[in-house]
A and B are shown apart, each in its own frame.
Chain A
Amino acid sequence: MSTAPPVTAAPVPLQPQRDGAARPPGRRAAAARTLALRAGAFLATLVLATFVAFWLIKLVPGDPATAIAGENATPERLAEIRAQLGLDKPLLAQYGSWAAGVVHGDFGTSLYSGQSVAGLLAQRLPVTLSLVFCSLLLAVVVGVAAGIVGAVRNKRPEGRVVTGAATLGIAVPNFWLGLVLVTVFAIWNPWFPATGFSRAGDGAGEFLRFAVLPTLALGAAGVAEVARQLRGALLEVFTADYIRMARAKGISGTALLVRHALRNAGVPVVTVLGLLINRLVGGTVVVEVVFAIPGMGTLVVDAVKQRDYPVIQAVVLVMAVIVLVANAIVEILYRRIDPRIRLS
Chain B
Amino acid sequence: MTLYRTTASAVVRRALLGLLGVALLVTAACGAPAQGGGTTATTLTVAVSNNPSSLDPQAGPSGTDHVSLYPIYATLVEFDPKTLVATPGLAESWSFTDPTTLRLKLRPGLKFSDGSPLDANAVKASLERYQTQTNKADLSNVAGVEAPDPTTVVIKEKTPDTSLVLVLADRAGMIVGPTAANADFAQKPVGAGPYTLVSYSPGDRLVLKRNPNYYGTPPPMENLEMRIITDPKAAANALLSGQIDFADALDANDIPQLRNSGKLTVESPVGLYFDMIYFNLAQKPLDDVRVRQAINLALDRDDIIQGTVNGQGEPARQPLPTSHWAYDKANDSVWPHDVAKAKQLMAEAGYAGGVTLTTVATASPLEIRRNEIIRSQLAEIGIDYKVQSMDTNQGVSLYFEKQGTNAAQYGWSGRPDPGQTYNRLFAQNSYQNPGKVAIPGLDQVLAQAVATEDTAQRAAAYAQADKLIADFAPYAPLYFRGDVTAYSTAVTGYTASLLGKPKVAFLNKSSGA
Contacts and interface: CB of A to CB of B under 8 A. Distances in A.
Given A123-B202, A152-B5, A62 B396 contact: yes
B314 to A, nearest CB: 21
Contact of A191 (B18, B30, B52): B30
Contacts of A42: none
A66 to B, nearest CB: 5
A75 B431 contact: yes
Contact of A254 (B10, B203, B233): B10
Interface in A155-177: 155, 158
A243 B1 CA distance: 11
B34 A191 contact: yes
Contacts of B413: 71
A264 interface: no
Q: A-side binding surface: helix, strand, loop or mixed?
A: helix
B424 A71 contact: yes
A292 B393 contact: no
A61 B398 contact: yes
A253 B36 contact: no
Nearest to A72: B137
B29 A113 contact: no
B235 A292 contact: yes
Interface in B391-427: 391-398, 400-402, 412-413, 424
> Which bucket holds chain B's interface residue count?
35 or more
- Between A60, A62, A154, A206, the greatest number of chain B beta carbons within 10 A of the residue's beta carbon is seen for A62
Interface string B1-38: 10111111111101110110010011001101010110
A284 interface: no
Q: Which of A256, A289, A294 has the most CB of B within 10 A?
A: A294
B283 interface: no
B51 A292 contact: no
B4 A292 contact: no
A20 interface: no
Contact of A193 (B12, B22, B243): B243
Interface in A105-126: 112-115, 120, 123-124
A60 B392 CA distance: 12
Interface stretch (A1-9, A22-30, A141-149, A265-273): A141-149
B237 A194 contact: yes
A73 B22 CA distance: 55
Interface in B234-255: 234-235, 237-238, 240-243
B397 A61 contact: yes
A190 interface: yes
A305 B7 contact: no
Interface string A124-154: 1000000000000010011001101100111
Interface in A70-87: 70-75, 77-78
B15 A62 contact: no
